[in-house]
Amino acid sequence: MKLWPAGPLYQALLVMVAAIAVAAGGYFVYRSWFADDPACAPGVSERGPRHECVGITDGAYAYDPSLKEVTKRIEAENNWVEKRTKGAGASPATIALMIPMISDNPAEQHEYVEQVEGAYLAQYRANHNTNRQPPIRLLLANPGRGYEHWPVVAEQLAQAASDEKQNLRAVAGINISLPETKAAIGHLTKRLHIPVVAGPMTADDIANEKKNPHRYPGLARVAPGNADQADALASYGKDIKPAETMVIEDIRDGDNYLESLRKRFEELADGAPNAPETFRSPPDFNDEGNLANDFHQMVPDICTSAAKTIYFAGRPVQLRQFLIELGDRNCNKHYTVITGSHASTLTVDEKFADHWDALTKGAGITLRYAALAHPDAWGDRSTEKTGGSRAALKELTSLLPKVGATPSDLVDGRIIITYDAVGTAVEGIRNDAVGKVRMPTLAEVADNWLRLHGTNRVEGASGWICLDQYGNPHNKAVPIVHLDPRKKTAVFDRITWPADRAPDVNCSIPREG
């Protein structure tokens, strides 16, 4: 029985069909093995329409050229830890720094480099400046822009936590208050039972509290929340009259930082004669959008109002746009603009570099904000007797040359607060390492947050970190700073306290009323 008709025409057709099949098969093999290979490096793969390299690395891979130098140092330190512990019967503990490490925004690039540097310096200090055990490995976990790909990274972190060679015991860093970070923290703490130490994150609703003490079991925070920042600003500005205030607020949904800042500033401005002026930023708050026009239209109404103090609830790009427009106002009135800690980005924003004069035009503008940390808070001129440590800041400053940084790089607070976040994670891991060194369980590390107060407080470079029963920093020092247009930097004003007074010498946490 013949399957194909005889003859040269049909034989040629058969050869052509076979050739097409082989080519197609080869193409699909190529597509599967090479062209669509998502791997950027071991543990790191391309995700999403932007083909971002997300995942976890021990320093063998740099997510961005700007991270190359500090990533090499982390890889070298991890290799040193591995050689030190190999055959010694001791296992290192691992901490993962989880922050976005890819951005098209130069200011954000500058900030994540500083955060990785702060994490590395905390790792280095833990391994070389103390004799305590276990040694510390550091992983870099990139969840992508806006934490978009956090589920992929969370799964890798879970594997690292169950791997006895890696012994992941905490995730640190979390730096942006967004619904994605809220979901990531909830998944890490509640479902995977991995302890988390948040760094620059300040939203009030991503925290445990009296009403919901186990919302995020195992979450600790080292930065004062927006409510604490607002209380500290209120303490500093006791002479501000609500009748002479106005709120300018971003009403974009889906941003926890904005939501909590709006709430607190509206409370501080209770009694203001004018309703808040509102605007809506683009979905990606780093986009310029067309908001300069909106702010331009707001300025005449601000001028005709009784406002002298403006509470600005917005992200840095929009703050920059607002200040430039307010600087070009026609009325000869001085304004004080008060905002949250994310304003520190202006000090490294290249697009603000040529617009510092916006603060000096006419009667001038004073931009004041509650910083996460500032090097002068515990410098040689500090007069505070409790709540912070000159020695802790001095030790961090002495480590800066290891990443090619200088004390001026501490001004925006990013190195300091991330150094303290990783340092707090180290303290929690090592609390059980007394006598015979053993690896604490994830649950034990989470429970150790409950011990980090009183005499067991963390001597942070940003100030004392005294965690309450919910894992929040109690009465944490809040440096109030303002932007100096002549020095083009953030200048320290003074320390303030959410409780309106410094903690006692024992960093005691009073009983709730």
What DSSP string runs through 359-394?
GTSTT-EEEEEE-S--GGGGSTT----SS--HHHHH
Dihedral sign computed on CA atoms, order 141, 65, 136, 41: positive
Distance CA 72, CA 40 (A): 17
Q: How many residues are recorded in the chain?
A: 513
Q: What is the pLDDT along the chain (513 residues), one digit of tens a residue?
A: 444 455 555 554 444 544 544 444 443 333 333 334 478 999 999 999 999 999 999 999 999 999 999 999 999 999 999 998 887 667 899 999 999 999 999 999 999 999 999 999 999 999 999 888 999 999 999 999 999 999 999 999 999 999 999 999 999 999 999 999 999 999 999 999 999 999 999 999 999 999 999 999 999 999 999 999 999 998 899 999 999 999 999 999 999 999 999 999 999 999 999 999 999 999 988 899 899 999 999 999 999 999 999 999 999 999 999 999 999 999 999 999 999 999 999 999 999 999 999 999 999 999 999 999 999 999 887 888 999 989 999 999 999 999 999 999 999 999 999 999 999 999 999 986 544 568 999 999 999 999 999 999 999 999 999 999 999 999 999 999 999 999 999 999 999 999 999 999 999 998 874
Q: Which amino acid is at 176?
A: I
pLDDT at 326: 98
Across the strands, what pairs with 278?
A: 249
In sequence order, which residues have a C-beta less than 8 Å from that of residue 166 and are 6 or more positions away?
94, 137, 160
Contacts for 261-267: CB closer than 8 Å, 24+ residues apart = 261/226, 261/230, 261/313, 261/339, 261/340, 262/313, 263/204, 264/204, 264/226, 264/227, 264/229, 264/230, 265/230, 265/311, 265/312, 265/313, 265/338, 267/230
pLDDT at 7: 58
Distance CA 449, CA 431 (A): 9
Structure tokens at 65: 């050229």
Distance CA 380, CA 219 (A): 33
Tell me how crowded residue 34 is: count the other CB atoms within 10 A of its CB: 8
Interhelix angle 226-236/256-268, nearest 10 degrees: 30
Distance CA 435, CA 413 (A): 36
Tell me how crowded residue 32 is: count the other CB atoms within 10 A of its CB: 10
484 CB-contact burial (10 Å; exposed 0-12 / middle 13-18 / buried 19+): middle
What is the three-state SS of 254-321?
A: CCHHHHHHHHHHHHHCCCCCCCCEEECCCCCCCCCCCHHHHHHHHHHHHHHCCCCEEEEECCHHHHHH
Distance CA 29, CA 45 (A): 19
Structure tokens at 507: 């960093």
The DSSP symbol for 67 reads G
Nearest to 183 by CA among 213, 215, 159: 215
Structure tokens at 109: 């690039």
Nearest to 358 by CA among 292, 278, 291: 292
Q: What are phi and psi of 41, to 5 degrees?
A: -175, 170
User: Sheet containing 489-496: which strands, arranged edge to edge?
Assistant: 277-279, 245-250, 309-313, 335-339, 365-370, 478-484, 489-496
Structure tokens at 455: 């005499």
Confirm if 256 and 182 have CB atoms less than 8 A apart: yes
Q: Quick one: residue 454, left, alpha or beta (phi over 0 = left, psi -120 to 50 = alpha)?
A: left
pLDDT at 384: 87
pLDDT at 511: 86
Nearest to 425 by CA among 177, 126, 215: 126
In sequence order, which residues have a C-beta less than 8 Å from that of residue 33 and are 6 or more positions away?
none
Nearest to 421 by CA among 207, 173, 188: 173
Structure tokens at 166: 């890696």
